[in-house]
Structure formats: C-alpha cells, structure tokens
Structure 1
Amino acid sequence: MSERLGPYELLSRLGAGGFGEVHLALDPEGRTVAVKVLHPHVAADGGALARLAREVETMRRVGGPHVAEVLDASLDGSRPYLVTRYVQGRPLSAVPVPVADLRRLAAGLADALLAMHEAGVVHRDLKPANVMMAEGEPVVIDFGIASALDSLSVTASGAVVGTPGYLAPEVLEGKAAGTEADVFAFGATLAYATTGRQPYGQGPASAVAYRVVHHPPDLDGVPEWLAPLLRECLATDPSARPTAAQLCARLGVEPALRVPPPRVQRGGDDLTTREWRPGRRERPRRSVEESRARHREKVRRRWLIGSGLFVSLLAAAARAPLPEVALFLLAAYALGVIGDAGVALFSRSPYRRGRMILDLASVAGCAGLCFGLAAVFSPFTLALFAGTALVVGIVFLLSA
C-alpha cells in the first residue's frame, strides 16, 4: 500500500543521499514528481531548515531543460520534504564511461550552471551522482540543498556537505563556496566522464583533499579540444576559472529559454504542482485513477503485442515438424485475447473500443505472421529467433 506525505502519494523509493531519501510520487493531479524526504537528523536542525526555507524561493526560480526544477517544499512538519521534477534516467556515476557524446554532456552541464548562477543559486555539491542522464541529456539535481544545509549540527550528524575530489580547494580550506566552486566541480565531473577516473585519484578523503589543493589533476586521455578548458576550470585560484557564461560561449551553447517552474496550489495559496517539461505544452490534468488506468492500458498493449510476436515465432517454428503444437499455440493465444476482448466489451473503461480493436487485430496478425514466417524461414532459424526473443524479453524485464 502506498504512503501519503502531505498531498503526495509516495510510490517507491528511488535512493538516498546525505540529506534524505528520494521517492517517486504522484502529485494531487496524478503527475509524477520526485519527493526528497529529509533525514531525521537533518530535520532536527532548526537553523538549517530555516536557511533552506529562505533558499527555496530562490531555487524555484531556476528553470531549464538541464535542471530538475524545485516545484514545492514543506519544511515545517515532522517530515520536511522538497519536491522536484522527476527525471527518468540513471546518474552519470552509473552509466558507462567514457561518455559517448561528450560535447552534449559538456554543453548541458554548462547550460545548467548558467541557469543556477543567473538565479543566484550555488549548487555546492555538483558531482556525477547528481547528474542524471535522461536519453543522453544531462539534468542536474539537488542544486542549492548542500549550501543551504551547511551547518555544524547537520554535518556532525553524518551528512557530508560536498564530495572530496569535486570540492574546490577554497572550500577545503574553509573559505566560502561561490559560483567558482561549481565551475571547479564542473571540470572534475567532465574529467571523470571523459576518462572514467577521478581527476584527483581515490583513497581516504584527507588524501584526496590534499591532492586537490597541492597537485594538478589527472587529465590524461581528455580530448585536446576539452583539456585546456578543464585545466582552467580546475585552477587552484578561483579567479582564474571561467564563469558559467564563458563556459557556454566557449562550448558554443545557446542559453535555453528560462521558463519559471509551476507552483503548487494548497487551498488559497498560490502553490499548484504540475509536471513541467521544457519545450512541451502543458497537458490536460488527469486524476490519479485516470493516470493509473492509462498506465495499465499502455502496459497491457505492450504485453499483447510482445506475446503475439513470441507466439507467432514459436508456432511458425513448430508448424512443419509439429503442426499440432503450432495449432495449439495459435488457438491458446486467440482464446486468451478474445477473452480479454470480452472483458473489455462489458467494462466501463474509456479505452474499451481501442482495446477490442487491438485484441482482434492481434489475433489476425499473430496467425498471419506465423504463416508468413513459416513460408520464408526454416524451423531451425525460427527456433533461434524465438530463443533470442525470449532472452531479450527476460533481460528487458530484469533491467526494468
């Protein structure tokens, strides 16, 4: 059974970090969002929460295709949380490196830095784990949280503000973290994405921090077009590093249109959460039940088509040596699908007409594909196709 937190329905746990757990959730309109529930030791620090509350409005002004916008926040309850746009993908730290399209990654990260810095937000904890890769595009998450929660009581409770190897030298020396610190982290993140190595090596945090302050980064293997820029980003002197605007200019990035993220409506407050995706028009609102019905119908169609293809392969492979088996497979599939069409006939689902049409078309398509494949390919080849399809299907289910 799903859990509710304020107006949000928590569906599943996506992960956890130093400051909280992230959950996939549905907002009151049935749209997917990411809800970060702060850890109890973080929630117990009133001063840190007060700073975070002051920063939330600034963070909400950050918009663009390469940042996960802050949509809502509730910081005065027993379980304080932040709500951001849900980004479906994997973190840069979990994808194969070197990254194939390095220019696309560099351009997206530069645009994200510009969006944050123009709004007056310093990320403070930019690293591969905080860069989500969504269909090849980088999206920066968790911006502004580290700097807002940088307090002695929070860090003493176990949360580390920043990651060794991506923290700028001035931060390690106890100085304030400005936008220059984000540029340093940008360089270190790109160096990792390019070489697959931490630019200042691995080991104890103290050893990595010492190398950051006193040693040059390891940029062996970085392409010639990128290496000079990364050296400037990783300069020990903050004033020697380029700004986010200069990064965009040197990488040929046209700054994306900044569209303010939507707000969340609670009673009379102007606060309405909507899923916002850059470049897309807002879709009609759906209830939670409508969203679930739509999702179930999408999954059902995929299973119907996938199972039809698999059955047609098996039946075609068995048609010559075992015609009775082929007939049985086709008949079983047809009975199952016709039964599904009968259920749709008496249901009140808005998708019942399309469901019945697809069911009948699947039966005819499965039979036609079976005879067509049997006429073109040998039973052995078809058996190999069926085995391959089975393995691919199992791998897909496990990865999903």
Structure 2
Amino acid sequence: MSEHLGPYELLSRLGSGGFGEVHLALDPEGRTVAVKVLHPHVAADSAALARLAREVETMRRVGGAHIAEVLDASLEGDRPYIVTRYVQGRPLSAVPVPVADLRRLAAGLADALQAMHQAGVIHRDLKPANVIVTEGEPVVIDFGIASALDSLSVTASGAVVGTPGYLAPEVLEGRPAGMEADVFSFGATLAYAATGRQPYGQGPASAVAYRVVHHPPDLEGVPDWLEPLLRACLSTDPAKRPTAAEICDRLGVEPVAQMPSPRPMPARSRASEQDEMATREWRPGKEQYRRSVEESRARHREKVRRWWLTGSALFVALLAAAAREPLPEVSLFLLAAYSLAVVIDAGVALLSKSPYRRGRMIADLVAVAGTVGLCFGLAAWFSTFTLALFGVTALVVGIVFLLSA
C-alpha cells in the first residue's frame, strides 16, 4: 500500500544519500516527481533547515533540460522533504565508461553548470552519482542541497558534504569556496566520463584528498579537444579556473536563457505555516507538453483497445468465412453481432470526452468494413476446411496469449 507525505503519494524508494531518502511519487495531479525525505539527524538540525529554507526559492529559479528542477519543499514537521523533477535514467557512475558521446555529455553538463551559477546556486557536490543520463543527455540532480546543509552539526551527524576526488582543494582544506569549486567538480566528473577512471585514483578518502591537493589529475586518454579545458578546470588555484560561461563558450554551448521568475513560494519551516502550493508542471527547453500519469494510461488503454479490435476483427472474419458455405445463417449472425458491438463502441466514443474519441470512431468503422470485406475475400480464396483450421489455430493462439498476459 502506498504512503502519503503531504499531498504526494510515495510509490517506491529510489535510493538513499547523505542527506535523505529519495522516493518516486505522484503529485496531486498525477505527475511523477522525486521526493527527497531528509534523514532524521538532518531534520533535527533547525539551523541547517533554516538555511535550506532560505535557499529553496533560489534553487527553484534554476531550470532547463539538464537540471532536475526543484518543484516544492516542506521543511516543517517530523519529515521535511524537497520535491524535484523525476528523471528516469541511470547515474553516470553506473553507465559504461568511457562515454561514447562525450561531446554531448560535456555540453549538457556545461549547460547545467551555467544554469546553476547564473541563478546564484552552488551545487557543492557535483559528481557522477549526481548526474543522471537519460537518452544520452545528462541531467544534474541534488544541486544546492549540499551547500545549504553544510553545517557542523549536520556533518558531525554523519552526512558527508561532498565526495573526495570531486571536491575542490579549497573545500578539502577548509578555505572559502565559491562557484570555482563547482568548476573543479565539473572537470573531475567529465574526466571520469572520458577515461573511465577516477581522476585522482582510488583508496581511502584521506589518500584521495591528499592527491587532489598535491598531485595533478590523471587525464591520460582524454581526447585532445577536451584535455586543455579539463586541466584548466582542475587547477588547484581557483582563480585560474574558467567560469561556467567560459566553459560554455569553449565547448560551443549556447548561453542559458534567463529563466522566468517562478510563482512565489515562501520556503516553509517549523516556525511558520504556509499554504500548500500545487506542484508546477515541468516544461524544460522547447517542450510544451508533458503527459501526466493518467494521460499515459489513457494512451496505453487506447493502444491495447486497437490491438484487441484488430485481432477480434481477423478472428470473426475467419469464423464467418468458414461458416459461409455450410452455415450461412451463422456467418451472417457473426458479422451482424460483431458489427453491432463495434458500432455501439463507436457511439460510446462519440459521447465520451476522451482526446482519442475521433481516432476510436474511425478505427471502429474501419474494423466493421474490414471484417465484412475480409470475410468475403477469404471465402472466395480458401476452402471451408482450411478456414476452419485457421480459425481453430487463431482461437488457440488467442487463449494462450490471454493466459500468458
């Protein structure tokens, strides 16, 4: 049985990270979303939640085809959560590397980095596990959360803010870190995608962190067109790293269009009660429409209905053709009964509000005409015995198919 959290219906657990568990969920309008429920030790830190609440509105201004946008957040109660767009795919850390279409990946990551920095958001934990690859395109998730929850109490409670090997040297050394740290993480993530190896090797976190600070990255095997950019991004001096805009320019990525300001949504905290805000629909890039779960189900039902209509038309035509010579009354009855049933279905479609009603009516009328025509054609070309054999075979195949389904 599914569980509800606020207005969201939690369907299944997708995974867990340092800050919370991620669940696949449905919003009140039936759209799929990802709900990150913060861990109890994070929820108990009022200072961290207050900081996150201040960042939520800024995070909602980040959008685009390569960003899993923040749609909603509720930071009061025993189970505070953040709602983002659900991205179906696999993390970069779980796909085959080196990545085949490296230019496409690099361009997508650069676009995401520019979108975040243009909105004033620092990811702080950009790494292969936080990049979902869907149909060859990268989508960055969990942006802004690590930066907002970077407090001593949260860190001491067990959440690791960042991953050694992808954290910039200034972060590891406890120095002030800004957007340049994300550029370093971008370079390390892209180096992994290009070579299939961790750019600073493997081993204990302390050893990897030491190599980040004191040793150059392993970029052997990185294509010539990309290596100079990665070396610049992985510079130990933040001032020598390119900005997100400069990375986009060097990769030939179009500048990120300014995102329109979202509908105001005051970040909710323990100390304040706010009105519920309905989750907005995600419309990245040029996409103008995204099917809801109910719309997808309706489309699937219509597809199944048409397959059933086609199969039943063929079966009735076979039986009617086989019975036409020895039992003409039975043949006529089969054709009439099938035609009546299909015409009734067409009438129901006419009165319904389904967006597929026109196609459904056309399919019904074509099925009736096709069944009658096929019946006479089969009767003219095949013997009664052959048609009866075909009919029995079709009946057996249909029963087996239904049982297996």
Report the TM range for the smaller structure's normalisation. Answer: 0.7 to 0.9
CA distance in 2, matches of 1:239, 1:292: 47
- Tell me the amino acid that sits aligned with residue 296 of structure 2: H
Contact 1:276 1:282 in 2 (8 A): no
Residue 174 (structure 2) pairs with residue 174 (structure 1): yes
Alignment-mate amino acid for residue 190 of structure 1? L
Q: Quick one: distance in 2 between partners of 1:144 and 1:135?
A: 25
Aligned residues: 341
The TM-score normalised by the length of structure 2 is: 0.74
Pairing partner for 2:279 from 253, 273, 281? 273
8 A contact 1:63–1:258 mirrored in 2: no
Aligned to 1:114, what secondary structure does the other structure show? helix
Counterparts of 2:204 and 2:341, CA distance in 1? 62
The 3 A distance-change label for structure 1 pair 346 and 195 is: same
CA distance in 1 between counterparts of 2:346 and 2:130 reads: 44
Instruction: State whether residues 61 and 262 of structure 2, in contact with CA within 8 Å, keep that contact through their aligned partners in structure 1.
Output: no
How far did residue 184 of structure 1 move? 0.5
After TM superposition, the structure 1 stretch with the greater mean CA deviation from structure 2, 353-362 or 176-185, is: 353-362
Quick one: structure 1 residues 222 and 78, their matched pair in 2 at CA, closer, same or farther if it must change by over 3 Å? same
Which residue of structure 1 lines up, in the alignment, with residue 251 of structure 2? Answer: 251
Measured against aligned partners, the alpha-carbon deviations of 1:318-349 in whole angstroms (never above 9, x if no partner) come to: xxxxxxxxxxxxxxxxxxxx999988987996
Q: Describe the shift of the 1:226–1:296 C-alpha distance in structure 2 as closer, same or farther (beyond 3 A).
A: same
Match for residue 133 of structure 2?
133
Q: Distance in 1 between matches of 2:102 and 2:247?
A: 14
Give the CA deviation at 1:259.
Answer: 2.4
Deviation at 1:182, TM superposition (A): 0.4
Which position in structure 2 is the counterpart of 1:149?
A: 149
- Cα deviation digits, residues 34-89 of structure 1 (max 9, x gap): 21111111111111111111111121222222211112111112110111122222
Contact 2:30/2:294 (<8 A) preserved: no
C-alpha deviation, 1:122, in angstroms:
0.8
Could you say which residue in structure 1 is the equivalent of 2:229?
Answer: 229
| CA deviation after TM superposition for structure 1 residue 144, in Å | 0.7
Comparing 3-12 with 176-185, greater Cα deviation is found at 3-12
Matching residue's letter, 1:127: K
Q: Which runs of 5+ in 2 are unaligned?
A: 267-272, 313-339, 379-404
Alignment of 1:187-206 (within 5 A): 187-206=187-206
Q: Give the direction of change, closer, same or farther, for the CA distance of 1:126–1:307 in structure 2 (3 Å limit).
A: farther
Q: CA–CA distance in 2 between the matches of 1:145 and 1:100?
A: 30
Which stretch shifts more, 221-230 or 207-216?
207-216
Counterpart CA distance in 2 for 1:132 and 1:362 is 44
Question: What is residue 44 of structure 1 aligned with on the other side?
Answer: 44
Q: CA deviation at 1:247?
A: 0.7
Residue 8 of structure 1 pairs with residue 14 of structure 2:
no
- The aligned residue for residue 298 of structure 2 is 297
Contact map agreement 2:195 2:220 (CA 8 A) in 1: yes
- Cα pair distance change 1:340/1:21, threshold 3 Å: farther
Q: Answer whether contact 2:180 2:238 (CA < 8 A) is retained.
A: yes
CA distance in 2, matches of 1:343, 1:14: 41
Match in the other structure for 1:219 = 219
Q: Report the CA distance shift for 1:343/1:296 in structure 2 as closer, same or farther (over 3 A).
A: farther
Aligned partner letter, 1:153: S
Task: Provide the rounded CA distance (Å) in 1 between the counterparts of 2:342 and 2:83.
Answer: 39
CA offset at residue 154 of structure 1? 1.3
Aligned alpha-carbon RMSD (Å): 3.6
Q: For the residues of structure 2 that align with 1:362 and 1:19, how far apart are their CA atoms?
A: 56
Which protein has the larger Cα radius of gyration, Structure 1 or Structure 2? 2
Q: Work out the percentage of aligned pairs sharing the same amino acid.
A: 74
CA contact (8 A) 1:263 1:272 kept: no
Where 2:160 maps in the other structure, the secondary structure is coil
1:258 CA displacement: 2.8
**Shift in Å, 1:271:** 4.1
Counterpart in 1 of 2:117? 117
Task: Quote the residue 1:19 is aligned against.
Answer: 19
Does the CA-based 8 Å contact 1:264-1:274 persist in structure 2?
no
Report the CA distance shift for 1:292/1:33 in structure 2 as closer, same or farther (over 3 A): closer
Aligned match of 2:162: 162
Mapped partners of 1:341, 1:150: distance in 2: 65
SS of the residue corresponding to residue 96 of structure 1 reads coil
| Partner Cα distance (1:248, 1:305) in 2 | 47
2:279 aligned partner, one-letter code? T
Provide the rounded CA distance (Å) in 2 between the counterparts of 1:341 and 1:207: 75
Q: CA deviation at 1:94?
A: 1.6
Cα distance in 2 for residues equivalent to 1:80 and 1:275? 22
Normalised by the length of structure 1, the TM-score is 0.74
Higher mean C-alpha deviation, range 121-130 or range 107-116? 107-116
Amino acid of the structure 2 residue aligned with 1:247 = I
Moved over 6 A (4+): 264-268, 304-311, 338-349, 359-365
Question: Is residue 2:96 matched to residue 1:80?
Answer: no
SS in structure 2 opposite 1:199?
coil
Deviation at 1:305, TM superposition (A): 7.3
- Shift in Å, 1:32: 2.2
Query: Displacement, 1:29?
Result: 2.5
- Give distance in 1, aligned partners of 2:151 and 2:16: 20
Which whole-Å CA distance do the structure 2 matches of 1:268 and 1:153 have between them? Answer: 27
